[in-house]
Amino acid sequence: MDIKLTFRNLSNDTNNSSVVIFQKNVAADFDEKAVAWTVIRNCGQNEYHPFTYPIGMTVSSSDSWGNYTPQLAAEHGQIFEATMTGSGDGLAYAGPATNASEIQVRNNLTQGAINAHIFKGGKLLAIKTAIAPGQRAAFRLEPTLWIGAASEIEEGDVMNSAVISSLNTELSLLGIASADIVMTGGGPGADSKPFSFHLENIKYA
């Protein structure tokens, strides 16, 4: 069941900061880059922004020519393979993954690296680039959101580790059906407090 969330701006911020929401691929290396999945803009003081965290995910691959395969429904415990078809590269379900907690994408092409993309709600959630022939990418995306205030970040942007380290609030959605994400803090002058994010009005599934 999809999770209904509502972002509420109860902060003292007058700079109209953007709020970035993303997930971390916990199957990846420590220095793995993350993707800005949702960016909430222009949500002023005391305003709110409802959105949905879908449970389902899709996967696709792209090649060095900028071509994308159609998105396929994907879940942890499945592996997908990029192979050459009569009309170019293709991506297809290839059975159970070697790790039941991962979505895996294997490059079975004889030449050419690919990129693997995971989408949630039609928006890019995670990416692994430059997967060489014979190699595979692994994605493990737990029901946890990371959130923070940032500027000049667009949805779908790949963020570097310096940006990620500043967006450091972790919100677990495990077992939750709906909740409010409340932002407090901020404000002008020397008394300004750091932004803080927490869940309220939690309803469990």
- pLDDT of 205 reads 94
Angle at 166 between CA 160 and CA 168, to 5 degrees: 110
pTM for this model (two decimals): 0.94
Ordered structural domains, the chain, with CATH? 3-54+142-204 (2.60.40), 57-139 (no CATH)
Q: If we measure between CA atoms, which residue out of 116, 58, 122, 112 comes closest to residue 88?
A: 112
Q: If we measure between CA atoms, which residue out of 33, 26, 109 comes closest to residue 64?
A: 109
- pLDDT of 30 reads 65
Give the residue ranges of the chain where pLDDT is below 70: 30-31
- pLDDT of 80 reads 98
Burial class of residue 113 in the structure, from the number of CB atoms within 10 Å of its CB (0-12 exposed, 13-18 middle, 19+ buried) = middle
- pLDDT of 15 reads 83
pLDDT in tens, 160-193: 888 898 999 999 999 999 999 999 999 887 888 8
Burial class of residue 199 in the structure, from the number of CB atoms within 10 Å of its CB (0-12 exposed, 13-18 middle, 19+ buried) = middle
Percent of the chain residues past pLDDT 90, beyond the cut: 80
Token duo for residue 23: 């997930």
- pLDDT of 160 reads 86
